[in-house]
């Protein structure tokens, strides 16, 4: 018999049960990258995660014969719903053994939760912030997960979710770029150079984390203005922006982050991250002096870069902004001698961005699907 336990996030034992499930499910899967345990706990911490200032989430575990066999989180993102005039619930952290009965029990509880709050649709996987990763993997299972910027799952997840009546909402495709074949047409570099010579736009680089933090608020404002047409967009609060930056800065190389400026304002950005997936796998979720040292060494020796977050305000698209953005992208890959680049999770609704990436040699190699169902 399957039992669904409603977790108490203030209970450390419940929190441990919830975050331990994927560690057991994927312990022998070489493509899976374990999250840091402290980061995982933050999602259940209603005092520390800024999502809970405006929205709610609950967490459930499926248990059979005394063993935890699945989990799910259900969210009501009130800011998203207000901005888009929707009544959506979201599901996230869905992990499950290959058992339809267990999946049905978890989703039935999620549907009950959403209906009790007068929500009429459930969408997911979709998390609490812009870097949580969207969807379940439906193509590219042979490739390793790119840190925690995307999710990894078994192929059977697709069948379990679709069996509940979910249908595709949107796909997020990640593209692969080889440094050898990443060649922008010279005219793109010329346009980028002319734009900077005229002083219309400039590129700001950072030498250290302190400089990066000084621009945090302006970067956040640019993020809020750059992605207004994206499917997943809603305006982030200052606290949410700060939370994201506080969580990425420790694992970022400031030299790989570029900001495009107009006068004194940030109007575009390019976030590059050295891929530390191998070190995360060796850490097995734990942060200690040895794992920190290993991460720092991996940042220097990795041949992969994740380009997760590239955007420019719409009003600069036809004024050389796109050319400058892609020119900086090529320089970032080449100047730091990366051999491989992952352009992480570009929504299929971002038509121009998808077209641009394919034009510069990007090859789709992973696909994550977000599902939706009216309830």
List b or e across 186-214, with b for residues whose CB sees 16 or more CB atoms inside 10 angstroms: eebbebbeebbeeeebebbebeeeeebbe
The pLDDT assigned to 157 comes to 98
CB 107: neighbour CB atoms within 10 A? 26
Angstrom CA distances, 335 to 27, 179, 352, stand at 36, 10, 26
Superfamily of domain 177-366: Gcn5-related N-acetyltransferase (GNAT) (3.40.630.30)
pTM for the predicted model, two decimal places: 0.92
Superfamily of domain 2-170: Gcn5-related N-acetyltransferase (GNAT) (3.40.630.30)
Q: How far apart are CA 64 and CA 264, in angstroms?
A: 58
Q: What are the structure tokens assigned to 32, written together? A: 């899976």
The pLDDT assigned to 61 comes to 98
The pLDDT assigned to 152 comes to 96
The pLDDT assigned to 169 comes to 96
Say if residues 169 and 134 touch (Cβ distance below 8 Å): no
Say if residues 37 and 286 touch (Cβ distance below 8 Å): yes
Say if residues 93 and 60 touch (Cβ distance below 8 Å): no
Beta bridge partners of 71: 61, 95
Q: How far apart are CA 355 and CA 349, in angstroms?
A: 11
- The alpha carbon of 325 is separated from its chain's Cα centroid by a whole number of angstroms, namely 20
Q: How far apart are CA 216 and CA 197, in angstroms?
A: 26
Say if residues 261 and 286 touch (Cβ distance below 8 Å): no
Q: Where in the chain is the domain with CATH 3.40.630.30?
A: 2-170, 177-366
Residue listed under structure tokens 């692969």: 176
The pLDDT assigned to 29 comes to 97
Ordered mean pLDDT values, 10 residues apiece, the chain (375 residues): 95 97 96 95 95 96 96 97 95 98 98 97 94 93 93 97 97 90 81 83 84 79 74 84 80 83 83 93 95 94 88 76 81 84 84 69 91 97
Q: What are the structure tokens assigned to 269, written together? A: 């950005």
């Amino acid at each position: 018999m399957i039992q669904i336990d409603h977790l108490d996030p203030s209970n450390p034992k419940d929190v441990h049960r919830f975050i331990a499930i994927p560690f057991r499910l994927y312990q022998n899967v070489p493509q899976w990258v374990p999250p840091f345990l402290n980061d995982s706990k933050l999602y259940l911490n209603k005092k520390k995660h800024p999502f809970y200032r405006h929205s709610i989430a609950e967490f459930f575990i499926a248990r059979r014969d005394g063993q935890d066999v699945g989990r799910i989180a259900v969210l009501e993102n009130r800011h998203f719903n207000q901005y888009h005039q929707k009544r959506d619930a979201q599901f996230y952290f869905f992990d499950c053994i290959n058992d339809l009965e267990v999946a049905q029990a978890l989703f039935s509880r999620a549907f009950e939760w959403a209906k009790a709050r007068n929500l009429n649709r459930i969408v997911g996987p979709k998390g609490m912030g812009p870097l949580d990763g969207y969807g379940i993997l439906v193509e590219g299972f042979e490739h390793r997960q790119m840190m925690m910027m995307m999710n990894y799952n078994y192929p059977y997840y697709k069948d379990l979710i679709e069996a509940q009546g979910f249908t595709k909402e949107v796909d997020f495709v990640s593209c692969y770029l080889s440094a050898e074949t990443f060649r922008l047409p010279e005219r793109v570099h010329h346009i980028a150079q002319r734009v900077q010579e005229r002083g219309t736009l400039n590129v700001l680089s950072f030498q250290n984390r302190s400089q990066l933090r000084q621009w945090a608020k302006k970067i956040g404002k640019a993020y809020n203005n750059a992605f207004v047409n994206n499917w997943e967009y809603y305006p982030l609060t200052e606290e949410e922006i700060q939370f994201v930056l506080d969580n990425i800065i420790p694992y970022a190389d400031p030299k790989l982050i570029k900001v495009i400026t107009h006068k004194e304002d940030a109007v575009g950005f390019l976030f590059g991250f050295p891929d530390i997936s191998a070190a995360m796998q060796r850490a097995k979720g734990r942060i200690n002096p040895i794992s920190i040292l290993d991460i720092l060494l991996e940042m220097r020796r990795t041949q992969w870069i994740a380009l997760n977050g590239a955007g420019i305000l719409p009003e600069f698209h036809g004024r050389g902004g796109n050319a400058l953005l892609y020119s900086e992208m090529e320089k970032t890959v080449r100047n730091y001698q990366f051999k491989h680049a992952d352009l992480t999770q570009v929504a299929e609704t971002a038509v121009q961005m998808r077209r641009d990436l394919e034009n510069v040699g990007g090859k789709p190699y992973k696909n994550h699907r977000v599902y939706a169902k009216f309830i």
